[in-house]
Amino acid sequence: MLLLIKKFGGWSKQQFSWLWESNSGDWPWLAEKPMQIAGLNRSLWRGAVPSISFYVLLSLSGIIATLGLLANSAATIIGAMIVAPLMGPIIAIAYSMVAANQRLLKRSTFTLVKGVLLTVAISFLIAKGVGIKTLGSEITGRISPTLLDMGVALAAGAAGAYAKSRRSIADALPGVAIAVALVPPLSVVGIGLAINSQSVTIGSSLLFLANLTGIIFSGAIVFLSHGYGSLAKARQGLIVSITGILLLGLPLSFSLQTLLIQEQTRRQISYLLYNKTQTFADTNIRSIKVRRQGKQLFVEMEVAAPFNLITDEQIKEVHQFLQAELNRPLNFQVEIIPTQQYEFPASKF
């Protein structure tokens, strides 16, 4: 390491410049100037127009996302994110706030609202038709958003605005769409309405609003930093965005705190089971899920064990032990999956 530092320590500015310019990759985009205002206006306007192509792609994205959620398939849901064209009008809203372009703001907002309603309606009809009974992890994972999701949205909004302002990296937008995932939360909203679940509907709606607010705010900041508008023009829009972020930050921070507490409790339970009890010594604990509701804890375990190795009396003792150690009311559910093991010694030749 010292030799490397000494080697580069003697380099001149010209040598570093030569090293930078001699790279064969597509590095020039780092120094590329932002698009002209007229060109960016045209590009954003095309993305905000409620055309037939926009609604066809959005409908297909909604169908793919809903079926992927019902099938609990992450790969299918990612495909829906790539197809979805919702980033177009959202980035246009961020720009129109900074540039005080009321016409573009109205058009993009109108397109976004209709797109949101269309996506929710499609998922509602599909969920009703399928008759969903249980919720997979891809659905439940989108009903408890945290501040981490807001952070992703802020980064994605900045990336989307930056890519939109430069012609050479416009292909990065599908990656931004995958990162922030706009359509899946809307599909979960429709599923929640179909099964009449208030918690699913509210949780997924909160996730979408967090994504929407974060993208608009950070996108507006990027456009503002690139000189596409002025702080005076953007003031009102930024105040609305910041207010939205602060209001959403309260439930999101509470969800993050709950998530951290649940993870800490899960690790504590895992330690106690492996180090303070012998009941599960010869088993394979596949999963431990912890959920907190008020002062009570709900713990669900999935264990692979030979048949009749663990009795209900042993599990009852573990339940009482955990409840005493955690000093909290504990609802304990254990699912034991019987396993059979066959072993044959090597034959002699």
How many whole angstroms separate alpha carbon 153 and alpha carbon 140?
A: 19
pLDDT of residue 339: 66
pLDDT of residue 127: 92
**315 and 285 Cβ atoms separated by less than 8 Å:** no
Confidence of residue 182 (pLDDT cuts 50, 70, 90): confident
Reduced to 3 states, what is the DSSP secondary structure of residue 289? strand
When mean pLDDT is compared across 53-57, 254-258, 278-282, 300-304, the lowest value belongs to 278-282
How many whole angstroms separate alpha carbon 218 and alpha carbon 222?
A: 6
Confidence of residue 1 (pLDDT cuts 50, 70, 90): very low
How many whole angstroms separate alpha carbon 69 and alpha carbon 123?
A: 10
When mean pLDDT is compared across 30-44, 59-73, 276-290, 293-307, the lowest value belongs to 30-44
pTM across the whole model = 0.77
Q: Are strands 296-306 and 330-339 parallel, antiparallel or unpaired?
A: parallel
Task: Give domain limits for the chain.
Answer: 34-258, 276-339
pLDDT digits (tens, 9 = 90+) for 130-170: 888 778 888 988 888 999 999 999 998 888 888 888 776 65
* 296-306 sheet: strands from edge to edge: 284-293, 296-306, 330-339
**329 and 292 Cβ atoms separated by less than 8 Å:** no
**149 and 208 Cβ atoms separated by less than 8 Å:** no
Which helix (H) or strand (E) covers residue 288, if one does? strand 284-293
Confidence of residue 24 (pLDDT cuts 50, 70, 90): very low
How many whole angstroms separate alpha carbon 229 and alpha carbon 102?
A: 13
Evaluate if residue 19 carries a pLDDT over 60.
no
How many whole angstroms separate alpha carbon 185 and alpha carbon 225?
A: 30
pLDDT digits (tens, 9 = 90+) for 194-218: 999 898 999 999 999 999 999 999 9
**108 and 89 Cβ atoms separated by less than 8 Å:** yes
Selection from 240-244, 259-263, 337-341 with the highest mean pLDDT: 240-244
Kindly report the CATH number that applies to the domain delimited by 276-339. 3.30.300.20
